[in-house]
Structure 1
Amino acid sequence: MCVVTCMFGQNSTRISNELGAGYPNAAYVAVLVTLMMAFTCGVVEFGLIISVWKVWGKAFSNVHQVVSYVSSMTPVLAIAVFVDAFQTTLQGVARGCGWQKLGAYVNLGSFYLVGIPLSALLAFVFHMNGQGLFLGLVTTLIVQVVCFLFVTWRTDWEKEVNKAAIRVGGTGVQDNTLPLLV
Structure 2
Amino acid sequence: GGIVVTESLRVGGDRFDENITRFIRKEYNLAIGEQTAESIKISIANCLPSQQKEETMAIKGRDLVHGLPRQIEITDRNVAKAIEETVNMIIEGIRQVLEKTPPELSADIIDRGITLTGGGALLKGLPELITKKTLIPAYVADSPLECVAIGTGKALEDIDKLRSSGSLIGASRRRDRKVW
TM class, shorter-length: under 0.3
How does the TM-score come out when normalised to structure 2? 0.28
Greater Rg by CA: 1
More helix by share: 1
How does the TM-score come out when normalised to structure 1? 0.28
